[in-house]
């Protein structure tokens, strides 16, 4: 790195976990950064802005350190600040993890003054190595990293009847739900779990029906960390159907959690090596089952969900929404079921819990990059096409030496890039590139 380049910051768009921890790591290596965050909750993002203890981490405390070289850092922080939550084998509230991330960012800033510049504002354009903000400010850097996190759901159009809640994470989105209201929830994954248990913690006592294409819900972690099962060659190479058969055999022999732990550290490598056709087959046939087994919930959260189902307050059904009819007091959904007759369900509210709506073609910041040829979609249109270092590929496939993607928006290239252990690994690799 020459002196002229090193005097400019790395401009990081997005101040959630990915962006904030990258800024901290760069500062520890002597590289300045400018951290742009739309709000003022630096380090939190959507995931760790949670305020309720019902919203738990989905990874054990012992594996949630923000530092690769200090695996017990989060557990040690809990011992010092929240000893009642310091079980390394437990699943801490996400609000506490947010406090931990902010504490790390603050401590690095104090130890390396001047190397992290915080900027409140909305990034609207990337022009070369400069990021333009909506208020007219322009922040020049030596490289730009897009760490914009998970976007809001996009499956329900905005501006519909106010009883159709298109983004449960928007401030105040669920405030008008009354204790006895009936709910229809689109999606049965992690967002559904968070919404239902969050409402429960705030006094909601009604009933909810969750609808998803296959009616699958997240599986639970075991009571203790599962050792990874040894994966034979036939589980790693060859046609996808043969790999699946091998994985199923291993699950019968060792348990499915052990098999998933075996795949966890090599998932990104397997994804990178897969052809576009193999990736498409995985997405079309296996993804729903992969998601519910890979992205598990804490045992106590699973127990709370099971209790709601046993009480008849939560039902999970398979189906697709064929039509929606809304009135001032209720919403009706007409469903097509994969097996059985069509049915119509009515409730006071419909909540979109289908998960992040990744669409870089409709997000102004990335849509402009695609339009000018500085970026392109990956072949399956999951997101921006990247090289192995996280560099954005131009329309002709050439990697951009000044533009990178980190965290959930990098899923097209890396697939598993949403959990802290995976993002932490990417931060280390990207820090090496940016300070080389």
Whole-angstrom distance, CA of residue 156 vs CA of residue 177 = 18
> What one-character DSSP code corresponds to residue 311?
T
3-state DSSP call for residue 151?
coil
Q: Does domain 164-219+296-352 match CATH 3.90.1560.10?
A: no
Q: Which helix (H) or strand (E) holds 75?
A: helix 73-81
What residues have CB less than 8 Å from 339, skipping those under 6 apart? 318
Count of CB atoms within 10 A of residue 436's CB? 6
> Which pLDDT score is estimated for 158?
46
The number of helix segments (H) and strand segments (E) in the chain equals: 14, 17
Distance of alpha carbon 402 from the chain centroid: 24
> Which pLDDT score is estimated for 157?
52
pLDDT (tens place) for every residue of the chain, 436 residues total:
444 445 899 999 999 999 999 999 999 999 999 999 998 889 998 889 888 999 999 999 999 999 989 999 999 999 999 999 999 999 999 999 999 999 999 999 999 999 999 999 999 999 999 999 999 999 999 999 999 987 777 665 544 688 999 999 888 999 999 999 999 999 999 999 999 999 999 999 999 999 999 999 999 999 998 999 999 999 998 888 999 999 999 999 999 999 999 999 899 899 999 999 999 999 999 999 999 999 999 999 999 999 999 999 999 999 999 999 988 899 999 999 887 778 999 999 999 999 877 788 888 899 999 999 999 999 999 999 999 999 999 999 999 999 999 998 898 998 888 889 999 999 999 999 999 8
> Which pLDDT score is estimated for 3?
47
User: Are 104 and 41 in contact, with CB atoms under 8 Å apart?
Assistant: no
User: Are 167 and 152 in contact, with CB atoms under 8 Å apart?
Assistant: yes
Tokens found for residue 390: 């996280």
DSSP assignment of 212-278, as one string?
ESS---PPBP-SSPPPPPPPPGGGTSS-HHHHHHHHHHHHHHH-HHHHHHHHGGGHHHHHHHS-HHH
Domain with CATH 3.50.50.60 in the chain: 3-151+357-434, 164-219+296-352
Q: Angle 17-28/420-434 helices, nearest 10 degrees?
A: 40
Whole-angstrom distance, CA of residue 359 vs CA of residue 181 = 32
What residues have CB less than 8 Å from 136, skipping those under 6 apart? none
Which CATH fold topology does 3-151+357-434 show? FAD/NAD(P)-binding domain (3.50.50)
User: Are 6 and 142 in contact, with CB atoms under 8 Å apart?
Assistant: yes
With 0-12 CB in 10 A as exposed, 13-18 as middle and 19+ as buried, what is 128? exposed
Phi, psi of 374 (to 5 degrees): -80, -20
What residues have CB less than 8 Å from 286, skipping those under 6 apart? 240, 244
0.85 exceeded by pTM: yes
Whole-angstrom distance, CA of residue 68 vs CA of residue 94 = 20
Whole-angstrom distance, CA of residue 144 vs CA of residue 131 = 8
Cα–Cα separations (whole angstroms), residue 394 to 124, 372, 400: 19, 9, 7
Tokens found for residue 134: 């909506």
Phi, psi of 308 (to 5 degrees): -65, -40
């Amino acid at each position: 790195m020459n002196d002229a380049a090193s005097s400019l910051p790395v401009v990081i768009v997005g101040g959630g976990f990915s962006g904030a921890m990258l800024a901290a790591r760069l500062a520890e290596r002597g590289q300045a950064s400018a951290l742009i965050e739309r709000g003022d909750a630096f380090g939190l993002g959507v995931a760790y802005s949670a305020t309720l203890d019902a919203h738990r981490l989905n990874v054990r405390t012992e594996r949630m350190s923000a530092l690769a070289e200090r695996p017990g850092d989060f557990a040690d922080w809990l011992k010092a600040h929240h000893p009642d939550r310091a079980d390394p084998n437990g699943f801490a509230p996400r609000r506490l993890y947010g406090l931990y991330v902010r504490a790390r960012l603050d401590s690095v800033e104090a130890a390396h003054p001047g190397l992290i510049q915080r900027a409140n504002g909305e990034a609207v354009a990337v022009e070369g190595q400069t990021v333009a903000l909506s208020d007219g400010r322009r922040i020049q850097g030596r490289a730009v990293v897009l760490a914009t996190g998970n976007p809001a759901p996009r499956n329900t159009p905005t501006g519909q009847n106010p009883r159709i809640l298109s983004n449960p994470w928007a401030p105040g989105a669920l405030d008008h739900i009354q204790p006895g209201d009936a709910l229809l929830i689109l999606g049965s994954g992690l967002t559904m779990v968070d919404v239902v248990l969050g409402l429960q913690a705030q006094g909601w006592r009604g009933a909810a029906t969750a609808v998803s294409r296959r009616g699958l819900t997240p599986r639970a972690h075991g009571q203790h960390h599962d050792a990874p099962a040894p994966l034979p060659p036939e589980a790693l190479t060859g046609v996808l159907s043969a790999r699946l058969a091998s994985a199923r055999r291993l699950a019968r022999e060792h348990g499915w959690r052990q098999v998933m732990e075996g795949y966890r550290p090599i998932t990104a490598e397997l994804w990178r090596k897969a052809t576009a056709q193999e990736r498409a087959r995985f997405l079309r046939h296996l993804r729903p089952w992969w998601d519910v087994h890979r992205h598990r919930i804490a045992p106590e959260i699973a127990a709370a969900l099971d209790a709601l189902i046993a009480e008849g307050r939560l039902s999970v059904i398979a189906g697709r929404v064929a039509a929606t009819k809304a009135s001032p007091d209720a919403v009706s959904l007409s469903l097509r079921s994969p097996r059985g007759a069509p049915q119509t369900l009515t409730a006071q509210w419909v909540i979109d819990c289908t998960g992040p709506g990744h669409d870089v073609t409709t997000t102004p910041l990335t849509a402009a990059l695609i339009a000018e040829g500085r970026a392109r979609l990956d072949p399956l249109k999951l997101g921006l096409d990247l090289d192995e270092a996280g560099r954005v590929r131009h329309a002709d496939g050439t990697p951009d030496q000044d533009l990178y993607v980190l965290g959930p928006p990098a899923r097209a290239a890396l697939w598993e890039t949403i959990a802290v252990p995976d993002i932490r690994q990417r931060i280390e690799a990207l820090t090496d590139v940016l300070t080389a």
